[in-house]
Chain A
Amino acid sequence: MEWDWEFVREIMPTLLDGLRITLLATLLGSMLAAAAGLGFALLRRSKSRAVARTTGFVVEFIRGTPLLVQLYFLFYVLPELGVLLSPLTAGVVGLGLHYATYTSEVFRAGIDNTPRGQWEAAKACNLTPYQTWRHIILPQAIPPMIPALANYFVAMFKETPLLSAITVIELMSEARSVANSNYRYLEPMTLVGVLFLCISLIAVPALHLLERRFRPTR
């Protein structure tokens, strides 16, 4: 089998379309993973034992089951219960919630690392719990977490091919369909690998920059 540059040129626009969807899913999934992860972390610290426990159970449940199963559930089972999601929405929700269970641990550790004296000073200043979170705890806790969060977002990016299983037309499914219709797998699959590698290679130095920028100074 020989490498065919003509074929590469022909399928590249299609693959780049797929890459756009892959990046979009990663971006939206990351945003959801960050927001929901923070939500999980806060709920797990709730004064209400019932809320904290239930959240803990949900988080363990999501983390303990495969992402692929969750995607199938969101896309194929939920409609039977009357909840219809587009493929991309189901994919983003799946990725976001799954990775939220990991980012919630990052948030939890970061929040626990904030010295007790900060909570006490906030109380002595008579801030409400909401004001304490918003102005004192989170602004200190989040910057040191950013590298760890970004790591999970890169990991999420590499798992987006799973979305092809629920008919999201992302990079992997575009590649598979051009491969199937041309009976050539070498170029499409190689290009998928190369494209993923390129993005990851960009991400690594970006991560290092983040790490340096947000290295704790205290």
Chain B
Amino acid sequence: MTDTIIDIDCVTKRYGSHTVLKDLCFSVRPGEKLALIGPSGSGKTTILRTLMTLETIEGGTIRIDGENLFQMERNGRLVPADEAHLHRMRTKIGMVFQLFNLFPHKCVLDNITLAPMLTKGVKKADAERRAMELLDLVGLADKARAMPAQLSGGQKQRVAIARALALQPRIMLFDEVTSALDPELVEEVLSVMRMLGSTTDMTMLLVTHEMSFAHDFADRVLFFDRGRIVEEGPPDVLFTNPSHERTQTFLKKIIAAGQRI
């Protein structure tokens, strides 16, 4: 129990009558790099959105750091989490979106400093110093005063990563962060992620269609289909020697589409 940072226990998620996650169970160890792969519509994004509290769940429990994400104790009883509880839980988690979702009315620097200043009371000068370090890290120190509209997709995504890092979460969620990018811009984002993976002890969950990146990056890969985990294992095993037929079919399709694994 103490050895996991995320515990997903029998989680069910429905949109109306459509069940997207069915009795899903898995845990993540602190510092683990986890890749979630699977066909479109299998529920990968939904898992990340649920962890970020952008969605609620209909059944099961999620624990972050041993603490229940969507419920809290009051007078010895479990009740739905209030806004203060969710707020505290969110400090542990950051997310990077497929479509960046930068704040278009704020310059790059302000995109990064806004949340630390508002949510942690960090002083402006300190927040800006930290933001410049992060921009340096993602190779965009010269764009601090640029507006998001002036950046390429790859640059936007690197700013979005810096923005999430500024809050120093223990867990980072990446939802297909390169799939909206032109092919020639993918590598600059992947190399930032690679650097993060090797230099930080953050727990990272990554949804991706870039199989070769998942292969190099992840400690463990989960293959999803229709809201369930079909197969999981270290990338060397899952990519080269999958035991389930559905995993094999999925990987064959990926290879047929021209991707290296």
Chain A positions within 8 Å of B, measured between CB atoms, are 115, 117-118, 120-121, 123-129, 131, 135-136, 139-140, 217-218
Contacts and interface: CB of A to CB of B under 8 A. Distances in A.
B118 A124 contact: no
Contact of B167 (A118, A123, A126, A136): A126
B104 interface: yes
Q: Name the residue among B49, B99, B101, B167 with the largest chain A CB count within 10 angstroms.
A: B101
A118 B54 contact: no
Interface stretch (B16-24, B88-96, B194-202, B231-239): B88-96
14 contacts: A117-B99, A118-B101, A118-B103, A120-B97, A121-B103, A124-B95, A125-B114, A126-B115, A127-B114, A131-B118, A136-B103, A140-B103, A140-B104, A217-B149
B119 A117 contact: no
Contacts of B52: 120, 123-124
Contacts of B118: 127, 131, 135
Q: Name the residue among A120, A124, A129, A217 with the largest chain B CB count within 10 angstroms.
A: A124
Nearest 7 A-B pairs (CB), nearest first? A121-B101, A125-B115, A117-B101, A124-B95, A126-B90, A126-B119, A131-B118
B42 interface: no
A121 B105 contact: no
A123 B53 contact: yes
Contacts of A115: 101
B105 A117 contact: no
Contacts of B95: 124
A67 B158 CA distance: 54
B105 A125 contact: no
B119 A124 contact: no
A218 B103 contact: no
Q: Name the residue among A115, A117, A121, A127 with the largest chain B CB count within 10 angstroms.
A: A121
Interface in B97-138: 97, 99, 101-105, 114-115, 118-119
Contact of B105 (A124, A128, A140): A140
A125 B119 contact: yes
A123 B94 CA distance: 10
Interface string B180-196: 00000000000000000
A121 B102 contact: yes
Contacts of A126: 87, 90-91, 115, 119, 167
Contacts of B149: 217-218
B54 A120 contact: yes
A74 B163 CA distance: 51
B69 interface: no
Nearest to A134: B118
Given A127-B119, A217-B149, A121 B97 contact: yes
B99 A125 contact: no
B164 interface: yes
A139 B105 contact: yes
Contact of A135 (B49, B91, B114): B114
A128 B87 contact: yes
Contacts of B114: 125, 127, 135
A115 B115 CA distance: 19
B103 A123 contact: no
A19 B104 CA distance: 42
A91 to B, nearest CB: 36
A121 B53 CA distance: 12
Contacts of B53: 123
Nearest to A139: B105
Interface in B192-244: none
B91 to A, nearest CB: 6
Contacts of A131: 118-119
Nearest to B148: A218
Contacts of A128: 83, 87, 119
A218 B115 contact: no
B96 to A, nearest CB: 8
